[in-house]
Amino acid sequence: MYKPLDTLTDEEIKKILASGSFDELAMLPLSVGMHHANWKIAQTLCVKLAGHTDERIRANAILGLAYIAMTKGKLEKHIVKPLLLRELRTNVEYKW
């Protein structure tokens, strides 16, 4: 069932990163990518989560980067492109 992405405060983001459930952590880059006012903070968070051990969280981090590009029109290509290429090569479960 569809549920709109939550708009999270910086404090809520910190709580999820510190001790959130798996589902909260998986949704975090999507919410931040769509709603965070600062594209650089959102990118930094998505880049961090793109290094997670879980494929679903990494895939959502990449999708979060796409949301930043769509909503803010900004990303640092030299940082983001290698992550995108890595995930396309290695993430078997969540290949688009």
Which residue stretches of the chain are H helix?
10-19, 22-35, 39-49, 55-72, 77-90
Residue 33 · residue 42 · CB < 8 Å: yes
Task: Give a yes or no: residue 43 inside a domain.
Answer: yes
Task: Give a yes or no: residue 22 inside a domain.
Answer: yes
How does DSSP classify residue 5? P
* Residue span of the structural domain in which 39 resides: 16-90
Q: How many domains does the chain have?
A: 1
**For 45-64, what is each residue's pLDDT tens digit?**
999 999 999 999 999 999 99
Burial class (CB in 10 A: 0-12, 13-18, 19+), 50: buried
Task: Give a yes or no: residue 80 inside a domain.
Answer: yes
Task: Give a yes or no: residue 1 inside a domain.
Answer: no
Task: Give a yes or no: residue 42 inside a domain.
Answer: yes
**For 2-41, what is each residue's pLDDT tens digit?**
889 999 999 999 999 999 899 999 999 999 999 999 999 9
Q: First-to-last CA distance in the chain?
A: 21
Task: Give the pTM.
Answer: 0.93
The whole-number pLDDT of residue 64 equals: 98
Task: Give a yes or no: residue 74 inside a domain.
Answer: yes
Task: Give a yes or no: residue 31 inside a domain.
Answer: yes
Task: Give a yes or no: residue 4 inside a domain.
Answer: no
